[in-house]
Structure 1
Amino acid sequence: MIARDVDASGRARLAPAGALFRGLADPTRLALVRRLASGEARVVDLCTELGLGQSTVSSHLACLRECGLVDYRAQGRASVYHLTRPELMDLLAAAEDLLTATGYAVTLCPAYATTAAADPTTTQESAR
């Protein structure tokens, strides 16, 4: 006998993907992921390179760490962060391709656009 799906529409099976995309929905977390794709970094380095405060960087790294996307190793008194899933960059590259294909229409969407929509040419090049 086939067990009845509690969520007939299949939304329950999509919940993990939804959580992943919500975790990546923040531009600061995307900037951290993009930076860590080029190599390991200490929090102090990430703060300097991204122009963000230590508490902001640490809180976003904690979120990414809880999602299993980044981790750290101790180096003296510092923590050195790195991506745990390099295939994440393939996902982000595919997202950039999709944005390009749609002409960045999402930046005009009243439900999802940010108040300061990014310049598509800058975003497209910087995400790769």
Structure 2
Amino acid sequence: MVRRLAVGEARVVDLVDQLGLAQSTVSKHLACLRECGLVDSRPVGRASVFTLTQPALIDLLRAAETLLAATGDAVALCPAYGTSEGGQA
């Protein structure tokens, strides 16, 4: 969803169509992102158009994806931290 909004503004219906998610799921995620100050919306007719307010978020996500690609399995399989029963980070 964030990647899509990085390309340009979108309505909920656009995100539903492009991401293949339920409308309720998209709306809930957008509400969360808006509460966090990561997206904003403006009314256009009966719809709302959403935009990404923090373009630097894309750089952060790319860095996280790179890190997880390099270490994700190690973290998931770590005996101390890989399960909710393990230790805390």
Provide the TM-score with structure 1 as the length reference.
Answer: 0.57
Pairwise CA RMSD: 1.8
The answer (yes or no) to whether the contact 2:38–2:54 under 8 Å persists in 1 is yes
Check if 1:85 corresponds to 2:50. no
Q: Give the unaligned 5+ runs of structure 1.
A: 1-31, 113-128
SS of alignment partner, residue 57 of structure 1: helix
Match of 1:74 among 43, 61, 65: 43
**Which residue of 100, 110, 115 corresponds with 2:69?**
100
Query: Aligned residue pairs: how many?
Result: 81
**TM-score using structure 2 length:** 0.79
Alignment gaps of 5+ in structure 2: 85-89
Distance 2:47 2:72 in 1: 42
Instruction: Provide runs of 4+ in structure 1 moved above 3 Å.
Output: 106-110
Shift, 1:107, TM fit: 4.3
Instruction: Provide the C-alpha distance between the structure 2 equivalents of 1:51 and 1:68, rounded to a whole number of angstroms.
Output: 24
Give the drift of 1:75. Answer: 1.1
- The structure showing larger relative contact order (alpha-carbon pairs under 8 Å, at least 6 residues apart) is 2
